[in-house]
Amino acid sequence: MAVTIQNDLSVYIVIIHTLEKLVLSFTESNFSDKFIKLFIAIYSTNQSSHEIRRTLQISKPTYYRWRKQILLIFPQIEKKFSNRR
């Protein structure tokens, strides 16, 4: 059990570190906050894409553009995006 928790924590740290590096290339802090919140919402909730867009107050084109950018870095989470309706 401890090994699983440690592995999960390591994966989470790598994900956050990679997202931070990606977000550093963007200058508008509101954008970067929403981008990170989108990733976290997809990874950790069961909300529909519409609910996530409404919560983050982002447009449908923005959602899909950011989705594409996230999947370029983390293709293994595509299934989490696909399950949204």
Nearest Cα neighbor of 42 from 3, 78, 8 is 78
Residue 61's domain spans which residues? 2-82
Helix ranges restricted to H, 28-59: 29-44, 49-56
Specify the DSSP class assigned to residue 57: T
Sorted by sequence, the CB contacts under 8 Å of residue 61 that are 6+ apart come out as: none
pLDDT in tens, 13-40: 777 777 776 666 555 555 678 888 888 8
Q: Give the residue, 2 or 69, on which the prediction is more confident.
A: 69
pLDDT, residue 24, reads: 63
| pLDDT tens per residue across span 52-72 | 999 999 999 989 888 888 888
Q: Number of folded domains in the chain? A: 1
What pLDDT shows up at residue 12? 76
Whether pTM > 0.85 for this model: the answer is no
In the prediction, which pLDDT does 80 show? 79
**With 80 as the cut, is the pLDDT of residue 5 above it?**
no
